[in-house]
Amino acid sequence: MPAFTSYEPGQPCWVDLMSPDVDASKAFYSAVFGWDAHDELDDEGNRIYVNFSLDGNDVAGLGANQPGMPPMAIWNSYVCAPDVAATVAKVESAGGTVMMPPMQVMSAGHMAIIADPTGAVISIWQPGEHPGAGVANEPNTWSWNELMTRDIDTALPFYTDVFGWQFDAMDMGGGMIYHVVHGGTDGWAGAMAMPPDVPEQAPNHWAVYFMVADTDATVAAVTANGGSVVMPPMDTPGVGRMCIFHDPQGGSFSTLQPEQQG
């Protein structure tokens, strides 16, 4: 299982979940993905964060919802930046909003939370002792981030201005165009227009995908542990078998079983 010790500027590097019930979320994701959960405590012994790991490598995080947040779980995507303050300084002139200004997260690093002009929220991470996920793109680990927005033409230039992203448009058929994010030679993330059948109350957002070895087995594990299927397993030629779920606290996440090559 290859390990990551650093990420390139502009590359997605971490995901975490904000939950109204941290203990329940710990139990659910540990059962579904086989993760180990490790509580991070302050000097007084209070839990301030949870690190999920797989085979000793950090794979995702978990924290408690802050006051004023919706009473549901939300997965967050983080983008690596060498200077979080300099990156945040580009946000408003590009049409976005600074939701939380840069702050230090002890010795782990610095972070900020921003929203693009369409309201989709994403976080920025300047690594300190914590570079990001220690392993990714393997079964039961985070593998992809995907912007879904009702105004794709407004959103894409924002990410180019702030993160330097370039986009390759792929015609998926049926009038759907998928935009692959490139910061170098490999695809880092994706973006697409929100499908018209998505309910109006669903906000523009960044979706988080986890790789799995067996989608149908994951469906069974999710439902057995109190989660639900939002979009049943669907095969996409050249990509694989994907599915969208809600965890018991309402957090949306997706899984992908990559198509076998050859």
CATH of the domain at 243: 3.10.180.10
How buried is residue 21: exposed, middle or buried, by Cβ count under 10 Å (0-12/13-18/19+)? middle
CA angle 182, 183, 187 (to 5 degrees): 35
What pLDDT score does 188 carry?
87
Predicted confidence (pLDDT) per residue in 28-69, tens digit? 999 999 999 999 998 899 999 999 999 999 999 999 998 888
Judged against a pLDDT cut of 60, whether residue 158 lies above it is answered with yes
What pLDDT score does 1 carry?
55
Distance CA 35, CA 210 (A): 12
The whole domain housing 20 covers 1-262
Alpha helices in the chain (DSSP H): 22-33, 84-88, 152-163, 215-224
Judged against a pLDDT cut of 90, whether residue 80 lies above it is answered with yes
Q: Which residues contact 20 (CB under 8 A, 6 or more apart)?
A: 64, 65, 71, 72, 73, 249
pLDDT band at 71 (very low <50, low <70, confident <90, very high): confident
Closest CA to 205 of 257, 167, 254, 171: 254
Predicted confidence (pLDDT) per residue in 179-238, tens digit? 999 865 578 899 999 988 888 888 999 999 999 999 999 999 999 999 999 999 999 888
Instruction: Count structural domains, the chain.
Output: 1
Q: State mean pLDDT over 152-157.
A: 98
What pLDDT score does 197 carry?
86
